[in-house]
Structure 1
Amino acid sequence: MSTQGKFRRAALNSGVASIVLALAAALPTVAQAQDAAAGTATDTEVGTDIVVTALRRDTTVQTTPIAITALTGETLTNAGVTNIADYAKFVPSLRIQDNGPGQRRVSLRGVQASGEATVGVYYDDTPVTGSVGVSSDAAGRTADFTLFDVNRIEVLRGPQGTLYGASSMGGAIRVIFNKPSDEYEGTVEAQAQTTKGGGFGYFVNGMVNVPLVKDVLAARAVLYRRDSDGYIDNTFLNRKNVNDYTATGGRLMLRFTPTSNFTLDGTAAFENTDAVSATWNPAVGEYKSAAQVNLPYTDKSQLYSLTANWDVGFANLTSITSYQHRKSAYAADDSYYIGTYRTAARCASYVNAGGACSADQLSTYYGYIDSLSPAAIYYPGSTKDFTQEVRLSSTGDNAFDWTVGGFFQNRKNDVTSSDARADDATGEIIFPVQLFYRREIFDKLKQVAVFGEGTYHVTPAISLTAGIRYFDYDKTVSGFTDIGWTLIGAPVRPVNTVDSSENGTLLKFNASWQANPDMLFYATASQGFRPGGANQVIGLSADLTPYESDKLWNYEVGGKISLLDRALTVNLAAFQIDWDNMQVSGRTTNGAFSFLSNAGAARIRGLEAEAFIRPAQGLQITLAGNYLDAKLTEDQISDAVVAAGRAGDRIPYIPHFAGSVGAEYRAPVGDSVEFFARADVNYVGSSYSEFRPTNVYRVKMDDYALANLRVGFELPDSDTGVYLFVNNVFDAVAINRASMSSTPNSYAATSAAPRTIGVNLRRHF
């Protein structure tokens, strides 16, 4: 590390330590402030008694016998949260590998791997899926909508297979929007900011709610636009602030209530994103890129849903019909990889079947290689996903609570893998695209499931829960190459189709004891899985083409405790996850194509803790943290593939420790003015990019701490606020993902933005 880097790290640690110590100093005042806090702070204010619907019925966080974190819309607004990467720091064991908009990999409790998603993401009750891409890696491109006018976010930690099905093997995230109401209301919010070493950024958000027919029909409309000039400089192309970003979106919601026991909610949401890759090359310099091509990312996402709720007396019948349509395109620089073929040995192999090239042959061959660069691997594609769920849940206070339902999904992914020429001077991909290679892939997934979960209340304090889900899926993958590139062993190939299908069951068992109104203890054993499929890779042998689903068991104990007349609430969980038949990512021998297979097993042991504290009137403190020991328990070796991992290796990108501390303070400074301040510190431990410590391309991502500060004044009478904020106060270089290969300039990283300063204004009317 450079002297400057060491100084910055020391300053960071010193500054973070000061904030943490200041927050910790407030803890002894809890007991002193108990009497003052009693009766003045609602549980909702400290995030402990929020009503959630994670179990498909109304419960509160503290009476729900699973590990769940709920963040209210007010908390999200006060912390300046706009996307999943912003709120992940508040949730134990939630990890984001952030490659930029639409290219985020989400994991919970260390369950992280290539393939289908390991965390289910829902907007209201609508599941959203990532695009599978050419390597069947939907988990690496999780769909993400800007967060504004949100009621709450529920993060369910641990497998949720029975109620939420496939791809919730690590947990599930539910974003619950505010619904249309019978009141005229609106919100406007604007923000302007500047980033160190970068440019200007802003966003504008607006919401209006209108009752159309009193007590029968209401509408809620949201619009927003976000724009940022970026902060990464491209030294090869001599361009500054290349990672610019623009997103425009909104949604229209209608609520129809023809009778007191029936509600119909319709939602149409869209978001259009135009951005450039935020990846940079640490070997070149902080926030410096050596890419020979400017790497665009475009995403046009649409989400439609129709949800009906009918109270039939003894139960509530719910139907959710949804459709997602996403068109996206992303790119990777292929220039340096192409350059690795510019050798005499490659000429001999390509031109003379191993014999040495003559001077003329070598000159001609080098000219051919040089004519291909600069070039980008360009991936345009689309995702269409239709889902239907119907469920019936008991209502009222019963000795036996139950939910039964059925689920259907029909997902279609189309993606093109192509190599396109770029302009020598600007690095921009030339449009219309000039291709010298193209492969088309079509991925179809159909699955059906039936599920049920029941809870028997043995006594008013003791409850036993059991759940089961039967699933049956079929996956069809087909593809062809119509523009061949023999240099990398990819000739023209006709259409080839492969089918993969599987069925099975998932189980859940839970026991809970409500010792008193302020103490809940529970134990859980639950399963999760994600579908297998088939690879569509050039020249891949038949035994490598299909891969199976992988499954896991989660064994967990937890407790939720409120103390000091609920001035202090602590939630704890300890768990072990046994993960079998893991899907792993491998590469063909020439390094050109990646594929999935099954190999090895893992065990993840962890501890999670959350605390909500109100030591004095107007002051709230939240703490969250986790310890994860995520390791392989078997070598990644099978009859089909020998992958890199060996027993005892850590799962990549999963740190042992992570945690956050937040403090929020309000105090009146006049008859109609309140002072507001919030500070957040988020710590993430070190992790590695590869399994094997002996891997020469294994990159260590150092630990980091990010501190954010926000202060302002609020006018409660007019529901108006003006705030100044600083994100990444100590300007930490916080790398969350890094990788390296044998290709020159392949050491690449993505990170949090440098110090960002701005002003935020909002008003609700």
Structure 2
Amino acid sequence: MRMISAKIRVLGCTATLALSIGFAAAAHAQTAARPTFTSVVAGSDEPDDIVVTATRRDTSLQKTPMAITALTGQTLTNAGVTNIADYAKFVPSLRIQDNGPGQRRVSLRGVQTSGEATVGVYYDDTPVTGSVGVSSDAAGRTADFTLFDVSRIEVLRGPQGTLYGASSMGGAIRVILNKPTQAYEGKIESQIAGTKGGGLGYFVQGMVNVPLVTDLLAVRAVLYRRDADGYIDNSFLNRKNVNDYTATGGRLMVRLTPSSNLTIDGSAMVENTDAFSASWNPAVGNYKSATQVMLPYTDRSQIYNVTGKLDLGSASVTSITSYQHRRSAYAADDSYYIGSYRTAAKCSAYVNASGGAPCSAGQLTSYYGYIDSLTPAAIYYPGSTKDFTQEVRISSNGTHLFDWTIGGFYQNRKNEVTSEDVRADKMSGDIITPNQIFYRREIFDQLEQYAAFGEGTLHPTSTIGLTAGIRYFNYNKTVQGFTDVAWTLIGAPARALSSVDSSESGTLLKFNASWQASADMMIYATASQGFRPGGANQVIGLSADLTPYRSDSLWNYEVGAKLGLFDRKLTLNLAAYQIDWTNIQVSGRTPNGAFSFLSNAGAARIRGVEAEAFVRPTRGLQLTFSGNYIDPRLTEDQVNASVVAAGRVGDRIPYIPNWSGSAGAEYTAPLSSRLDFFARADFNYVGSSFSEFRPASVYRVKMAGYSLTNVRVGVDLKESDAGVYLFVNNLFDAVAINRASQSSTANSYSATSAAPRTIGINVRKSF
């Protein structure tokens, strides 16, 4: 009860502070015209009206010849979306393996393996990168900021290589933030909720927009804090709700408009996350963990950006300068792996060398004592990522006989990561501080790349568009590492600093043809390429031929249609595609299982269909449907013998369900001149998938299909510009596992999942 009271006090104090800021902004604006309040329960924009910038030019969503899902800020607010895992369910073919904050793997259309990201993630025009880690797996640690005060999210399905470059081979996600305006405005939102089998959670967030100099300078500030007690119990340590989570952050945005044709936007985004692992062990029980160590996760993420746009009339020049700095640390339980060495055979190999005589009784006792002294232990991975990017592009304005975009891009990304084994307290499971290190390896990874790109569309008639694009890229990757604290038990001797370089250059192509058959019908066809960089492994004992790995690439062939039917009461978007993926980057492990690395093996063919439907049968009611079928299979054997459970022709790509889909209904109706009723329900289905390629693999885990249902009901108080809403997430309390894996080590069968049923209340107010 003391904990609950404390959380309510924190919530109340934070809400009071944010409300005070909002009232101050409103008071300062008393001589200005009061902005019209847009109800949070108002209907979302129709797809025909949404303007997107996916092609680097302003276009209508339904007249953009590509498979793209656009979620407006209104839709995100009404659905209670706060992060990428929340909105993924609305997008066909978008898949999230959610290992917790900052540790999410994002894929589109089944293009998913270890290595560099396969989906580009952007905040406005700033690309964000995951931390590489010791296994060069940046895709598994995609950076993620809390979503609040967002204009829209654009999800571009299919490779976007020409305009977005490397690591957009499956597609790209663009989070478009609201910019400062010449109006006084503010909003505050708070929420408190309880999760079945867990504790309370809350958030409070606020925004203030203030024009400082009329028609010249405006600022917009966002602050937020989120806290959750967790719902996973550790049965080994006898600790409850171990996966607690706290995130605090905000952003400051400044817009300078020195002339009518020049806009300069500056922004700073910061988010600090402190959490513990959300993995649990299904063999022990639902939402039960058997780790011998508490597994903390910390993340200090910052993004700074300056974007300038100069309108020259017939064309616009845009410059984007960005810098990302991310310091993070995460941990994995190494206790069971170390315990696997507590055998007579391992004693013989360690004490008397491989193939030597069995250990004597005294040797065995001494060896077992040594093993026991190491546990419990965690592998701790502190590291940092610094990423500087610069893009300059020039785009034609409007629609003419020939529309075009040309530009250049530069990136310099530096990663540092430490892998160290450290002891933990036997009773609490907490990592002992200062760290008691008995193994340490340091890795430095730098990626520098240049690119020039161009894309043009010819309109031979007013209804036909013929597009061609090309991107030239050149990158160099340098990986360095050393081991300064040796651990001979696992074959990890001390090593001096060594360095490996990898470089590559090439081109990416895109071709698209579209026909606007009528105002309500568009048909298009696309052939486009995507790729992601290769690199080099820094793994102890890895043979020279496996040290470097190359880029992988794919071709996507697609046809689609965008239709407005029944006087636009129904909007229907359809796409069918085939992806040919070659030289796939795959993850392998050294024979003793101690180290993971990347290699190239095999090829795949992915075939799929996608559908989206938006129905407006009557005023106040909106229905949305989306779904996809994906058949992702290998077309070549993964012949590299070092890859665990290497796939063979016909095997399905892991973690990709054949079927998934969603349905939503949103209804608003006036209760009185002062009160509106709001109700929304969202249903999401994800089919079954597997953790390994090979059906015969003893470590293959099947993740069963699941359904999730969220419901929100509330009222909007129009005169006070406020709303109150009750919600239930995971209404039927489904056990929805989105990732599972298993190895030979005891208690290695682990999983992550959606949270159990969560019930709460949400309050919003605008000024």
With the shorter chain as reference, the TM-score category is over 0.9
Q: State how many pairs are aligned.
A: 725
Matched, 1:727 2:732: no
Q: CA deviation at 1:443?
A: 0.2
The amino acid of 1:575's aligned partner reads: Y
Task: State the partner residue of 2:714.
Answer: 712
Q: CA deviation at 1:641?
A: 6.2
Question: Is the CA contact 2:591–2:642 (under 8 Å) kept in the aligned structure 1?
Answer: no
The amino acid of 1:355's aligned partner reads: A
The amino acid of 2:327's aligned partner reads: K
Say which SS state the counterpart of residue 461 (structure 2) adopts: coil
Question: Equivalent of 1:623, from 614, 622, 625?
Answer: 625
The amino acid of 2:191's aligned partner reads: Q
Q: For 2:43 and 2:240, how far apart are their aligned partners in 1?
A: 48
Question: Is the CA contact 1:266–1:306 (under 8 Å) kept in the aligned structure 2?
Answer: yes
Matched, 1:258 2:258: yes
Q: CA deviation at 1:166?
A: 0.2
Query: Any idea what the Cα deviations from partners look like across 1:427-469, whole Å, max 9, x if unmatched?
Result: 0001111100000000000000000000000100011000000
Say which SS state the counterpart of residue 607 (structure 1) adopts: strand
Task: State the partner residue of 1:423.
Answer: 425
Taking the TM superposition and a 5 Å limit, the aligned residue runs for 1:530-569 are 530-569=532-571
Task: State the partner residue of 1:696.
Answer: 698
Q: CA deviation at 1:638?
A: 4.8
Query: Any idea what the Cα deviations from partners look like across 1:195-215, whole Å, max 9, x if unmatched?
Result: 000000000000000000001
Q: CA deviation at 1:533?
A: 0.1
Matched, 1:512 2:514: yes
Task: State the partner residue of 1:62.
Answer: 62
Structure 1 residue runs of 4+, over 2 Å off? 41-49, 638-643, 716-719
Task: State the partner residue of 2:17.
Answer: none
Taking the TM superposition and a 5 Å limit, the aligned residue runs for 1:26-425 are 45-353=45-353, 354-425=356-427
Question: Is the CA contact 1:291–1:333 (under 8 Å) kept in the aligned structure 2?
Answer: yes
Say which SS state the counterpart of residue 691 (structure 1) adopts: coil
Say which SS state the counterpart of residue 633 (structure 1) adopts: strand
Question: Is the CA contact 1:410–1:447 (under 8 Å) kept in the aligned structure 2?
Answer: yes
Question: Is the CA contact 1:48–1:612 (under 8 Å) kept in the aligned structure 2?
Answer: no
Taking the TM superposition and a 5 Å limit, the aligned residue runs for 1:424-463 are 424-463=426-465
Q: CA deviation at 1:152?
A: 0.2
Q: CA deviation at 1:314?
A: 1.7
Q: For 1:705 and 1:395, how far apart are their aligned partners in 2?
A: 45
Question: Is the CA contact 2:587–2:643 (under 8 Å) kept in the aligned structure 1?
Answer: no
Question: Is the CA contact 2:42–2:668 (under 8 Å) kept in the aligned structure 1?
Answer: no
Question: Is the CA contact 2:589–2:642 (under 8 Å) kept in the aligned structure 1?
Answer: no
Q: For 2:84 and 2:104, how far apart are their aligned partners in 1?
A: 9
Task: State the partner residue of 1:760.
Answer: 762
The amino acid of 1:731's aligned partner reads: D
Question: Equivalent of 2:636, from 634, 637, 640?
Answer: 634
Q: CA deviation at 1:640?
A: 7.9
Q: CA deviation at 1:564?
A: 1.0
* Long gaps (5+) in structure 2: 1-40
Q: For 1:107 and 1:501, how far apart are their aligned partners in 2?
A: 25
Question: Is the CA contact 1:544–1:640 (under 8 Å) kept in the aligned structure 2?
Answer: no
Q: CA deviation at 1:715?
A: 1.8
Q: For 1:87 and 1:42, how far apart are their aligned partners in 2?
A: 19
Say which SS state the counterpart of residue 151 (structure 1) adopts: strand
Say which SS state the counterpart of residue 237 (structure 1) adopts: coil
Q: CA deviation at 1:539?
A: 1.0
Q: CA deviation at 1:556?
A: 0.1
Taking the TM superposition and a 5 Å limit, the aligned residue runs for 1:545-624 are 545-624=547-626
**CA separation of 1:44/1:710 partners in 2, compared to 1, >3 Å: closer, same or farther?**
closer
The amino acid of 1:618's aligned partner reads: G
**CA separation of 1:641/1:616 partners in 2, compared to 1, >3 Å: closer, same or farther?**
closer
Task: State the partner residue of 2:21.
Answer: none
Q: CA deviation at 1:397?
A: 2.8
Query: Any idea what the Cα deviations from partners look like across 1:603-629, whole Å, max 9, x if unmatched?
Result: 000000000001111000000100000
Q: CA deviation at 1:176?
A: 0.3
Q: CA deviation at 1:46?
A: 3.4
Q: For 1:585 and 1:640, how far apart are their aligned partners in 2?
A: 9
Say which SS state the counterpart of residue 80 (structure 2) adopts: coil
Q: For 1:569 and 1:71, how far apart are their aligned partners in 2?
A: 15
Query: Any idea what the Cα deviations from partners look like across 1:8-65, whole Å, max 9, x if unmatched?
Result: xxxxxxxxxxxxxxxxxxxxxxxxxxxxxxxxx9996333431000000000110000
Question: Is the CA contact 1:43–1:49 (under 8 Å) kept in the aligned structure 2?
Answer: no
Q: CA deviation at 1:355?
A: 1.2
Question: Is the CA contact 1:681–1:705 (under 8 Å) kept in the aligned structure 2?
Answer: yes
The amino acid of 1:303's aligned partner reads: I
Q: For 2:332 and 2:485, how far apart are their aligned partners in 1?
A: 19
Q: For 1:302 and 1:540, how far apart are their aligned partners in 2?
A: 35
Q: CA deviation at 1:742?
A: 0.3
The amino acid of 1:378's aligned partner reads: Y
Q: CA deviation at 1:396?
A: 2.5
Query: Any idea what the Cα deviations from partners look like across 1:633-673, whole Å, max 9, x if unmatched?
Result: 00011598686110100000000000000000000001110
Query: Any idea what the Cα deviations from partners look like across 1:387-424, whole Å, max 9, x if unmatched?
Result: 00000000123100000000000000000001000011
Q: For 1:327 and 1:300, how far apart are their aligned partners in 2?
A: 5
The amino acid of 1:373's aligned partner reads: T
Question: Is the CA contact 2:162–2:453 (under 8 Å) kept in the aligned structure 1?
Answer: yes
Say which SS state the counterpart of residue 748 (structure 2) adopts: coil
Q: For 2:46 and 2:205, how far apart are their aligned partners in 1?
A: 26
Task: State the partner residue of 1:25.
Answer: none
Question: Is the CA contact 1:636–1:643 (under 8 Å) kept in the aligned structure 2?
Answer: no
The amino acid of 2:497's aligned partner reads: V
Query: Any idea what the Cα deviations from partners look like across 1:557-585, whole Å, max 9, x if unmatched?
Result: 00000011111000000000000000011
Query: Any idea what the Cα deviations from partners look like across 1:171-193, whole Å, max 9, x if unmatched?
Result: 00000000000000001000000
Q: For 2:396 and 2:95, how far apart are their aligned partners in 1?
A: 35
Question: Is the CA contact 1:223–1:250 (under 8 Å) kept in the aligned structure 2?
Answer: yes
Question: Is the CA contact 1:599–1:643 (under 8 Å) kept in the aligned structure 2?
Answer: no
Question: Equivalent of 1:474, from 473, 476, 486?
Answer: 476
The amino acid of 1:119's aligned partner reads: V
Say which SS state the counterpart of residue 371 (structure 2) adopts: helix
Question: Is the CA contact 1:392–1:404 (under 8 Å) kept in the aligned structure 2?
Answer: yes
Q: For 2:763 and 2:723, how far apart are their aligned partners in 1?
A: 6
Question: Is the CA contact 2:44–2:74 (under 8 Å) kept in the aligned structure 1?
Answer: no
TM-score when normalising by structure 2: 0.94
Q: For 1:202 and 1:745, how far apart are their aligned partners in 2?
A: 32
Q: For 2:661 and 2:223, how far apart are their aligned partners in 1?
A: 33
Query: Any idea what the Cα deviations from partners look like across 1:293-313, whole Å, max 9, x if unmatched?
Result: 000000000000000000012
Q: CA deviation at 1:716?
A: 2.6
Say which SS state the counterpart of residue 458 (structure 1) adopts: strand
Question: Is the CA contact 2:666–2:681 (under 8 Å) kept in the aligned structure 1?
Answer: yes
Question: Is the CA contact 1:637–1:643 (under 8 Å) kept in the aligned structure 2?
Answer: no
The amino acid of 1:752's aligned partner reads: A
The amino acid of 1:428's aligned partner reads: D
Q: For 2:667 and 2:43, how far apart are their aligned partners in 1?
A: 16
The amino acid of 2:130's aligned partner reads: G
Query: Any idea what the Cα deviations from partners look like across 1:94-115, whole Å, max 9, x if unmatched?
Result: 0000000000000000000000
The amino acid of 1:444's aligned partner reads: Q
Q: For 2:48 and 2:155, how far apart are their aligned partners in 1?
A: 14
Q: For 1:643 and 1:700, how far apart are their aligned partners in 2?
A: 15
Q: For 2:433 and 2:149, how far apart are their aligned partners in 1?
A: 38
Question: Is the CA contact 2:160–2:528 (under 8 Å) kept in the aligned structure 1?
Answer: yes
Say which SS state the counterpart of residue 49 (structure 2) adopts: coil
Say which SS state the counterpart of residue 139 (structure 1) adopts: helix
Q: For 1:716 and 1:401, how far apart are their aligned partners in 2?
A: 44
**CA separation of 1:642/1:362 partners in 2, compared to 1, >3 Å: closer, same or farther?**
closer
Say which SS state the counterpart of residue 348 (structure 2) adopts: helix
